[in-house]
Copies of this chain bind each other. A is one copy, B any other.
Amino acid sequence: MSSNVVWHSHPVDQQTRAAQKSQEPLVIWFTGLSASGKSTIAGALEQILTRQGYHTYLLDGDNVRHGLCKDLGFSDDDRKENIRRVGEVAKLAADAGLIVLTAFISPFRSDRRIVRDMLPQSQFVEVFVDTSLKVCQQRDPKGLYEKAGRGEIKQFTGIDSPYETPEAAEVRLEGGTQSVAESVNQLLEYLHNSNVLKAGYEPISINA
């Protein structure tokens, strides 16, 4: 057996994994009403970051609700457990050295606090997509507000379940008036100023 490559018992840790990717691990946690624009903005930001060479991962209802959290419904307890698990997975993905984006309504302050407390301060950014209920109801891309208004969906955030506005989110996006490009650029500027993005950034425009 060759002894050219020698293994020492230093486990691979977050720092090693992040350094390999030339980046600082981070969780960018989007919160806001249904149809506020969370997933769209997060997806656009992820694409720009990936193009710039960052290693990202986006967690949202699509890849969590049918898998990891498929045993959970929409009661207060289940929503709380849903956000807890998403927080834990975001933490693991950040431990893997990734820049993690999450797009969940996450309506309760206490749940967002629990997730924030899981991570070092420098690794958590809360982004409030502040789109008014009225605008969200007008968009209603999946007809959910209409169904909730007719009582066909219960415990729908903004209708018969509260949304607790963030009090100290690192970033607030005016989701009702800003374009997706404007929101992404605001985020890029924030991340740049926070030294998360090492290189300069170029503002983008959207051609969706």
Contact = CB atoms under 8 A, between A and B. Distances in A.
A106 to B, nearest CB: 17
A38 B93 CA distance: 22
A138 interface: no
Contacts of A184: 7
A208 interface: yes
How often does this chain occur in the complex, in copies? 2
A96 B92 CA distance: 12
Interface residues of A, number: 58
Interface in A1-26: 1-12, 16-17, 20-21
A7 B44 contact: yes
A47 interface: yes
A85 interface: yes
Interface string A182-193: 101100000000
Given A203-B1, A204-B2, A7 B96 contact: no
Given A2-B203, A6-B204, A55 B20 contact: yes
9 contacts: A1-B205, A6-B206, A8-B47, A12-B58, A55-B55, A55-B97, A64-B92, A93-B93, A96-B98
Interface of A: 1-12, 16-17, 20-21, 43-44, 46-48, 50-51, 53, 55-59, 63-64, 67-68, 71, 81, 85, 88-89, 91-93, 95-98, 118, 180-182, 184-185, 202-208
